[in-house]
């Protein structure tokens, strides 16, 4: 595959841009395959909004179900479509086999990405020393900088602050997506981290709290919806407008609960499909589409937030699309 990206875009320095609102983009599917038309539509949509960067093929992007070829196609299509507004792009990786991940870093070294978001190994529950050696080996080898992803309730292991802070000294480890779900751990890390080490929350429902505590930004699946309001919250916080920030947060806080009330990203995909941004709400097994009950609640929320016809309804496809679900 030829690389359509100029070297300038690839050279963007993740350390300097890992802040603000990052979107972990969904991977749209249609009839079992990656739906590139919807993917490109999404990229056009979000690159026109105040998003600081994109994460591809992570949890929300159903990276665990993508083949290596699909992941490559996804990355190159996003970069190609984003052309005019070259947002930084990180590739989500996960795995519990250090050697296999090293191979993946090798395979993807020449891809047009600005970094990796790599989660802790899951299931095998290594020691803190094992985690440190694992991430150290990956960081030594990676051609692009790494942000680490600590999410104990998914992986079964917590990357503690002592190991994290030692890893933060590695020149190729530039930040953390923090889903520790432990406010004391996050506060301690925010207090002790090096100045140039970014901490972004990945806990949608704790977004306002994390910014109040000093996080540099967030990676939020919920921000697929009401993206501008999610971004505005950070500008208001930065400007010290606390009351306006709280009001802004209150306008979207319920959304974070609604969109995670069944396993993500099915609720988000349903919303994006109903509003015409993607052509199908399909997810890949073992994930399943939203229940009829949640679909009704989302429909009501879409209606409440935007009483105008969606692009799909304007094309007269509303009812047909609903029946096809
Ligand atoms: O896609 C991601 O990465 C995200 N992961 C979190 C999770 O795993 O639950 C949630 C976040 O909104 C995005």
Question: Among this protein's residues, is 149 annotated catalytic?
Answer: yes
Fold topology of 7-242: TIM Barrel (3.20.20)
CA of 137 to the centre of ligand 1 (A): 24
Reading the block at residue 174, the tokens are 């530039």
Domain boundaries, the chain: 7-242
Q: Give residue 84's pLDDT.
A: 64
Beta bridge pairs of residue 90: 55, 115
pLDDT at 8 exceeding the cut of 70: no
How far apart CA 53 and CA 50 sit, in angstroms, is 9
User: What Å distances lie between residue 10 and 98, 102, 114, 139, 231, CA to CA?
Assistant: 25, 20, 6, 18, 24
Catalytic residue among 69, 116, 122, 149: 149
Cα–ligand 1 centroid distance for 220 (angstroms): 6
Catalytic residue chosen out of the listed positions 177, 207, 269, 270: 177
- Mark the binding-site residues, compressed into ranges: 60, 219
pLDDT 10s digits, 18-61? 999 999 999 999 999 999 999 999 999 999 999 999 999 999 99
CB atoms within 10 A of CB 304: 8
pLDDT digits (tens, 9 = 90+) for 149-188: 999 999 999 999 999 999 999 999 999 999 999 999 999 9
69 is catalytic: no
Pocket of ligand 1 (CB under 6 A): 24, 55, 58-60, 151, 154, 179, 202, 204, 219-221
User: Could you tell me the pLDDT band of residue 311, with boundaries at 50, 70 and 90?
Assistant: low
């Amino acid at each position: 595959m030829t690389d359509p990206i100029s070297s300038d875009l690839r050279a963007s320095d993740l350390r300097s841009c890992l802040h603000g609102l990052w979107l972990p983009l969904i991977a749209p599917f249609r009839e079992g395959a990656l739906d590139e038309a919807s993917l490109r539509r999404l990229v056009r949509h979000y690159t026109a909004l105040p998003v600081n960067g994109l994460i591809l093929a992570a949890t929300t992007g159903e990276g665990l179900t993508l083949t290596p070829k699909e992941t490559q196609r996804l990355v190159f299509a996003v970069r190609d479509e984003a052309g005019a507004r070259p947002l930084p792009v990180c590739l989500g990786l996960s795995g519990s086999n250090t050697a296999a991940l090293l191979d993946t870093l090798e395979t993807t070294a020449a891809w047009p990405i600005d970094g990796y978001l790599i989660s802790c190994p899951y299931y095998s529950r290594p020691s803190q020393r094992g985690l440190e050696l694992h991430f150290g080996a990956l960081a030594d080898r990676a051609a692009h900088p790494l942000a680490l992803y600590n999410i104990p309730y998914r992986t079964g292991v917590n990357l503690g602050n002592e190991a994290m802070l030692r890893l933060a000294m590695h020149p190729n480890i530039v930040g953390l997506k923090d889903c520790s779900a432990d406010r004391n751990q996050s506060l301690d890390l925010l207090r002790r981290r090096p100045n140039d080490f970014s901490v972004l929350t990945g806990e949608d429902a704790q977004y306002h709290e994390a910014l109040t505590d000093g996080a540099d930004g967030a990676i939020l699946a919920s921000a697929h919806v009401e993206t501008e309001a999610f971004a505005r919250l950070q500008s208001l916080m930065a400007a010290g407008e606390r009351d306006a920030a709280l009001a802004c947060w209150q306008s979207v806080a319920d959304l974070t609960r609604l969109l995670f009330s069944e396993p993500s990203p099915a609720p988000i995909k349903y919303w994006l499909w109903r509003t015409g941004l993607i052509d199908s709400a399909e997810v890949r097994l073992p994930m399943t589409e939203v229940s009829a009950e949640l679909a009704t609640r989302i429909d009501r929320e879409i209606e409440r937030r935007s009483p105008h016809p969606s692009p799909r309804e304007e094309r007269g496809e509303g009812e047909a699309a609903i029946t096809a679900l």
